[in-house]
């Protein structure tokens, strides 16, 4: 498979065409941003860690019957993926209180939620990805009822599968962000699943093992990304 023309460059990824129809090449970068792009830095090795963790977890999800865009990991830091038409909606799933949920509602970080909370955000950098409710997604026409209902069901399944998989490896899945897209009549999970897009704590000690180490200057960022990948791929 050959890497073709650059289609898109984001904060953490470059996406290229390939010589195969319907297949894209997603290359994960070591650069990191936080707080809406205000904080910038480099996490050495992150591209390989994020590609490796995504590849592993997409495979776990596929085995559980969830459709994902993942095809193959190449050159360490890249994934070959199915080309999708992405919905402009980010789905956040939360099991415990953290991040913006703690801030917005004045809740103590780490509080267990009675059941998972699903949130919707519009993918629109210039608008700072505003939070939406279900009515915004439907009435403003970002997704149809049928597609949104399907995505909500898939997001809940992804949460159950990943939470169990991580728990068996001593990891607590606190919250995470998903992006879905469609191809023909089918809906697939896209994007990535990595310490950049998930909050993951050590189940025994509560130690933070994800991008919050970068956001809040907790130190040893690379070592903790590596530890998560080591446990998930062991
Ligand atoms: N998240 C993400 N991309 C975004 C916003 C959030 O991957 O643009 C992830 C984030 O890493 C966390 C979860 O979604 O695992 C919930 O994020 P939150 O709303 O708490 O926002 P934050 O405080 O991280 O900005």
Are 62 and 139 within one domain? no
Q: Which ligand 1 atom sits nearest the alpha carbon of residue 215? A: 24
Ligand 1 atom having least distance to the Cα of 177: 14
CATH number at residue 20: 3.30.200.20
- Kindly state the percentage of the chain with pLDDT values over 70: 100
Q: Does 146 lie in the same domain as 37?
A: no
Whether residue 162 is contained in a domain is answered as: yes
Which residues are 96's β-sheet partners?
A: 112
Is residue 233, in this structure, part of any structural domain at all? Answer: no
Protein residue closest via CA to atom 20 of ligand 1: 99
Q: Which of 82, 110, 127 is where one domain is finished?
A: 82
- 99 shares its domain with 23: no
Residue 189: which domain range? 86-220
Does ligand 1 come within 6 angstroms of the Cβ of 198?
yes
Q: What is the pLDDT along the chain (234 residues), one digit of tens a residue?
A: 899 999 999 999 999 999 999 999 999 999 999 999 999 999 999 999 999 999 999 999 999 999 999 999 999 999 999 999 999 999 999 999 999 999 999 999 999 999 999 999 999 999 999 999 999 999 999 999 999 999 999 999 999 999 999 999 999 999 999 999 999 999 999 999 999 999 999 999 999 999 999 999 999 999 999 999 999 999
Contacts of 69 (CB under 8 A, 6+ apart): 58, 81, 82, 84, 181, 188, 189, 190
Residue 111 lies in a domain: yes
Q: Are residues 136 and 28 in the same domain?
A: no
Residues 113 and 76 in one domain: no
Residues 48 and 160 in one domain: no
Number of compact structural domains in the chain? 2
Looking at residue 226, what is its pLDDT?
98
Residue 207, in any domain of the structure: yes
* CA of residue 191 to ligand 1 center, whole Å: 14
Full 3-state SS string of 191-210: CCCCCCCEEEEECCCCCECC
Q: Which atom of ligand 1 is nearest to 196's Cα?
A: 11
């Amino acid at each position: 498979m050959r890497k073709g023309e650059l289609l898109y460059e984001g904060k953490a990824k470059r996406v290229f065409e390939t010589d195969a129809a319907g297949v894209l090449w997603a290359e994960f970068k070591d650069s990191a941003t936080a707080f809406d792009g205000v904080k910038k830095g480099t996490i050495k090795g992150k591209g390989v860690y994020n590609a490796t963790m995504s590849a592993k977890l997409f495979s776990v999800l596929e085995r559980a019957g969830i459709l994902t865009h993942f095809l193959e990991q190449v050159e360490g830091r890249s994934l070959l993926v199915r080309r999708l038409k992405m919905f402009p909606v980010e789905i956040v799933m939360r099991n415990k209180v953290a991040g913006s949920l703690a801030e917005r509602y004045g809740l103590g970080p780490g509080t267990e939620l009675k059941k998972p909370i699903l949130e919707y955000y519009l993918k629109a950098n210039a608008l700072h990805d505003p939070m939406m409710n279900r009515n915004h997604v439907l009435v403003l026409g970002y997704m149809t009822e049928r597609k949104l209902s399907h995505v909500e069901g898939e997001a809940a399944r992804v949460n159950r599968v990943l939470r169990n998989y991580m728990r068996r490896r001593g990891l607590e899945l606190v919250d995470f962000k998903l992006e879905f897209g469609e191809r023909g009549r089918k809906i697939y999970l896209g994007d990535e699943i990595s310490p950049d897009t998930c909050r993951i704590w050590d189940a025994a000690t509560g130690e933070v093992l994800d991008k919050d180490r970068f956001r809040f200057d907790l130190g040893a960022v690379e070592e903790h990304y590596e530890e998560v990948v080591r446990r998930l791929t062991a």
